[in-house]
Each structure stands twice: as structure tokens, then as C-alpha cells.
Structure 1
């Protein structure tokens, strides 16, 4: 099995690799991956790919390793008070869900620190072939407020090889970007299971109900089994694919359930900056229950052909002006086109 590259820097740089979940080779430098003539979103995909010694045919540039399951979403009684979106009304909606490890490395060990943040993508299959998606990660917040800053962060890491002069580019970046420093130093323990891992929507959306009332909010996806992490001495004992193996085994015994809620913004809360974490005392409105029932038998084949899009939105839900949110589908499309050979 291919080993995850090791990033040789002091504590702050190593924490960055862990938090960003990108397996960066220490000998790769920024000038090798940055092509300023390309759009920033394409440069992001190029950088992620190069830094894990890719591309890997048929796999995503990030969150390459994953597993897909199916189930249903049942809305709560109060969901329609937030939005008129069809999946938030009375009836249950079929869903496809993909859980994933971070990085573009398909062989990433599930308990590796670089597998964080893990991802969840939920596709609500609406009537007449329509759909809407939620794409979230297992960390509350994001290290950069703009695609340009995110690219700057990645390039700073790429330029911080073992022979880089001190302070290294990544140390300089973290020293001038407090949100990135906070993100990379936040503890991210390996989960017991995907079924015990909370997920957070780092971008805000505007929800509008049938009466025209609007409210900004961010998704919270909470496991009904409770959040559970591996102890430090347990990490070395699990197999490289323990998360991918655990979920199908659990589903054979019964459904896996999550609560999907929206953390509601208060007046004055920043809705267009993914680095700004709202206070925990903000109210949460429960949208409903996600019930996962079956592991997809041909998961790998389906994963290759499906592109989750956080801006595939029905009436009743609109994107905020968050530049990270706006850029995400474009970057995903670049990655999608490459993995399907278009």
C-alpha cells in the first residue's frame, strides 16, 4: 500500500498538514504547482493533485477515498417553517450519501491524521429527476475566506520543504492568518465510525419559507449514536480501511441515523466568510432525520460518475455571497471532468 507522504516542518507546519488533510510531499515547491494563467479554481485542483503525486485516474482531487450509501430523509414538523424547499415539506425523500477521507490519495489510511477533515455529501433525490445537495466537513469552520487565500495557503505549504529558510512560507502564512492558525491547531481525533462523526456546513445559505420570511443558517449534521472518537492508543490498532468497512457492517445490523439541523444566524453574524464560526448559543432548527439503510454495491463506479454540487439549490434555499461557496462547484467541475476523462 502506498504510504502517505510526510511533511517535515516544525509543529505549526505539521498541524497544517493534519488539518488540511492534504498529503503534501516535502520536496514539492510552489513554482511547480502554481500556474497564474489559469483560474484560481483550476490552480487549486492542480496544486492538490501535484502535492499527492497525482493524478490518480478515476478519483477526486480531494476526498478521493470514500464510500456511498442510500437511505431516506424525513423532515421534521418545523422544517417547512424555515424553507419552502420540497424535501423540507411532509414527505420523506430518497437520498444518496457519500462519506470520505480528505486528500486526493485513494490509499489514505482512514485513521491517518491527514484523513481529516472527513467529508459527507448528501444528495436529496427530488421529483422529476431534480436534486439538491449538502456538502459538509467534520470541522466547524474553514482556514481561508477566499479561494485566493486558500491557494496561497496551499502554495505556502508546498514551498515549505525541509530546506526552506526559516521562518518557512507556511509559518509566515500562519503568522499573518489567525483563522488558518486556529483551524490547523484545532484537535481532530479519528472517529470510531462515520456513524459517530458530526459534520458542519462551513458556508451559510439563505432559507425562505412559504410566507416569504428569510433566515440565514449553516448546516449541522449530528450522529444520533453520539460523537465518538478513538483513543490515542486505539488509532494504531485499526486497519487502514476501518471506516469504509465499519459502515457497511453497521448497516447490515440496522439503520444509521443523523439529525440534520440549521444553526441560525443572529443579526450581525457574518454570513459570507467561512472562517467566522458563530457562537454555540445560536439556536438550531432541526430539519429532520437522515436514515441510512444500505451500502451501495457498486460504490466505486457510482462515485466516479456523480458530482455533488452545493449550489444545486431548489426554490426556498439560496446561496450566500461567500466566495468559498461560490467557487466550490467550479473546482469540483474541474476535478469531475478529469476523473471521467472529459
Structure 2
């Protein structure tokens, strides 16, 4: 129904007032939409941090790579299912946690960094992004990394860290003085960096643990809310990376190893949910929760297929961490909103750019035991 249709049904005395009200509402909507685009572009506040400026910095640090994600650029698509244990149902009304529920899953494994053809390195942060396809069109999208905590607490610190950690072309390493200045200004990142450096490097993706890092809230059917963090813990026993792996000639050895593992049998991760208690930090991803916090195994992600990135698969998905089903809500961590906005900016840019083939040339494969 149009504005003219609405006014045609109003009495003569009401029409001028109706026109004013409706035009005012339209003007407010247009202004609000324009304001959102202006903010995203960095036009209204030239000195404020915006999603566009974050993505610009990724491009400055890593160079231009049209058509690719600006971070976690090198990746491989996966598909499978989630089998609920039923234990999560008491904490969340999300349908995927119902006892016996089987939910289709698609996703992506990747390496941090913005260079699509960089050689795999065991020390590079690995990621597991998943998209749970719930009934009635609901989705849960989650991005997880194989580090115990996030290196920074705020979007502003993340922006500064990107530049401070930029490798010098002459040495291939960051400028020590720039890093020292960053850590001096961000002491919470010093402890986080030590925890990240001390993590165990596993042989590959299949035996690695991937954590959500940010705190979220599970919402039960009675409205009760519980702060949570989660991790995808491998069913396959972790094997430490050997010195020989560091010198492999295969530039895609981590991705090739994962695809080979799936060919042999489905790869499984348990979704382990940790329950927060009063006083646990929910707005600071640089701080881990106490190890004695209770946890539960909510179910198992079973990956049975891998596929190279191409039109229409995981390459064209924005794994926005705030795409959540009823029963899961974002917390008060400032990084969540910043991640969501920056992901959208990156997605918008690459959607309009020409595409190049992925460095990981994996034909579709399926494991046994579907």
C-alpha cells in the first residue's frame, strides 16, 4: 500500500496532518539510513574508528587482493551436521540443542592473515567458521580461533595492533619499537600475547581446539540467561606439531592434511559450553575464565565433506558472529559489534570485485559414515 493509498482513506480534515506525519516518518527513515551508510564510510566522523577504516588498515597491511576476504583469507569449505546431546536444552531454547536434533552445518577452515596465496605455517592462527542451518530459516553463524584468548580488548586496540604488527619488508618481522609502543599502551595485551605464544601447536586442523573467545548469553525457555563461552574440542587426540612439519615443501599442507583426514573418516568436534559466574569478565576477551567453571558437552559437529571455495559456497558467506538464533544472544563485549560491522564492510567490498581461484584446490570429497 502506498502513501497515496493511505491518504485516500483518510477524511479531509485528517489529510494534511497525515501527510505531515507520513512524510516526517519517511524523512527520518531516509536520514537514518543515510547516516548508517555515512558512518560505515567514515564520512561523518573523520577521526573516529569505523568499519571502513578497519578494513582499510587490513588492506594497507596485507596489500590489495580483490575478491578475497580481508582477513582469514586463505580457506577451504566444509559441510556436515551437528548432533545434539540434549544437554544444552536446559540453558538455551535454540532448536539445535533439543535432544536428538540433527542440524545441517556448512563452514570454512582458514588461516589468519590477509594474503590468499601465503604458504601454510604451523604458527599461524587457525580458524573454524560454522553456519548452523536451523529450521524455519534460522541460522547460527560463529567464528572460532585456535588461541586461548583474544590479543586485544577493544576495537581501537585491534586497529592499532594491525599496524604495529605489520612485517617490515626488509626483515619479514614487525618493527620492535612499534610493537613495544603498542604493548606499553595496551598492558592487557601483554598477558594475552604470552598465553597465545604458549599454546600447543597441533599437527593440523582436525586435532585442534577452536574457541569462540567472546562471551555470549544462552537464553532458556523461561527467560533465564546464562553467560557462556564455547569451544569446539576435537574428538581425535591432539598431536603436537613436529619439527619436520615446519619445513614442508607443500604450501597447503594444513589444508591438504584436513581434506585427507575427512576422506578417511568424518572429523568430529564436541561443542563444549562453559558457564560463567558473577564476576567473570564478559566484556574482555583477553582474559580467560577460571578453569574450574562448569561446562557441558552440547553435541558434536561432524564434518563429512570438504570443497574448494567457489561461487555459491562458503566463499560467499559472511560469518557474522551476531547472526544468532532465538536462544543465543550477543554479550557486552565491544569486539562483537566491531567484528560484525567490519565483516559486513569486507563482504560488501569483495562482493563487487572480480574473483580469483583459491590457493587451496580441493575437489569435493566425502568421508565414510554419513
Shorter-chain TM-score tier? 0.7 to 0.9
TM-aligned CA deviation for residue 119 of structure 1: 0.7
CA distance in 2, matches of 1:240, 1:112: 11
**Is residue 210 of structure 2 the alignment partner of residue 181 of structure 1?**
no
Residues 40 and 147, structure 1, Cα contact 8 Å, conserved in 2:
no
CA distance in 2, matches of 1:258, 1:168: 40
CA 1:240/1:190 → structure 2, altered by over 3 Å: closer, same or farther? Answer: farther
Alignment of 1:106-255 (within 5 A): 106-111=116-121, 113=123, 116-158=124-166, 168-185=177-194, 186-188=197-199, 190-237=201-248, 239-255=250-266
Residues 203 and 242, structure 2, Cα contact 8 Å, conserved in 1:
no
CA distance in 1, matches of 2:309, 2:165: 33
Aligned residue in 1 for 2:13? none
CA 1:69/1:325 → structure 2, altered by over 3 Å: closer, same or farther? Answer: same
Aligned residue in 2 for 1:100? 110
TM-aligned CA deviation for residue 175 of structure 1: 2.6
CA 1:190/1:75 → structure 2, altered by over 3 Å: closer, same or farther? Answer: same
Where do 5+ consecutive residues of structure 2 fail to align? 1-44, 354-370
CA 1:92/1:50 → structure 2, altered by over 3 Å: closer, same or farther? Answer: same
**Is residue 57 of structure 2 the alignment partner of residue 57 of structure 1?**
no
CA distance in 2, matches of 1:299, 1:153: 29
CA 1:152/1:196 → structure 2, altered by over 3 Å: closer, same or farther? Answer: same
Residues 214 and 282, structure 2, Cα contact 8 Å, conserved in 1:
yes
Where do 5+ consecutive residues of structure 1 fail to align? 1-34
Residues 67 and 300, structure 1, Cα contact 8 Å, conserved in 2:
no
Question: Root-mean-square deviation (CA), in Å?
Answer: 2.3
CA 1:247/1:326 → structure 2, altered by over 3 Å: closer, same or farther? Answer: same
Residues 145 and 273, structure 1, Cα contact 8 Å, conserved in 2:
yes
CA distance in 2, matches of 1:88, 1:57: 39
TM-aligned CA deviation for residue 233 of structure 1: 3.4
CA distance in 2, matches of 1:268, 1:188: 25
Structure 2 SS opposite 1:179: helix
CA distance in 1, matches of 2:198, 2:125: 11
Aligned residue in 1 for 2:95? 86
TM-aligned CA deviation for residue 155 of structure 1: 2.9
Aligned residue in 1 for 2:57? 47
Residues 160 and 168, structure 1, Cα contact 8 Å, conserved in 2:
no
CA 1:156/1:247 → structure 2, altered by over 3 Å: closer, same or farther? Answer: closer
CA distance in 1, matches of 2:261, 2:169: 42
CA distance in 1, matches of 2:261, 2:176: 47
Q: Which moved more, 1:179-188 or 1:60-69?
A: 179-188
CA distance in 2, matches of 1:291, 1:195: 11
**In terms of Rg, which structure is larger?**
2
Structure 2 SS opposite 1:304: helix
CA distance in 2, matches of 1:223, 1:159: 32
Aligned residue in 1 for 2:297? 286
Structure 2 SS opposite 1:248: helix
The Cα offsets for residues 113-157 of structure 1, whole Å up to 9 and x where unpaired, read as: 3xx211111100012333111111110111211111211222333
Aligned residue in 2 for 1:258? 269
Using structure 2 for the length normalisation, give the TM-score.
0.76
TM-aligned CA deviation for residue 89 of structure 1: 1.1
Residues 111 and 190, structure 1, Cα contact 8 Å, conserved in 2:
no
TM-aligned CA deviation for residue 213 of structure 1: 2.2
**Is residue 339 of structure 2 the alignment partner of residue 333 of structure 1?**
no
CA distance in 1, matches of 2:212, 2:87: 20
Aligned residue in 2 for 1:267? 278
Aligned residue in 2 for 1:299? 309
Using structure 1 for the length normalisation, give the TM-score.
0.82
Aligned residue pairs total 302
Q: Which moved more, 1:179-188 or 1:131-140?
A: 179-188
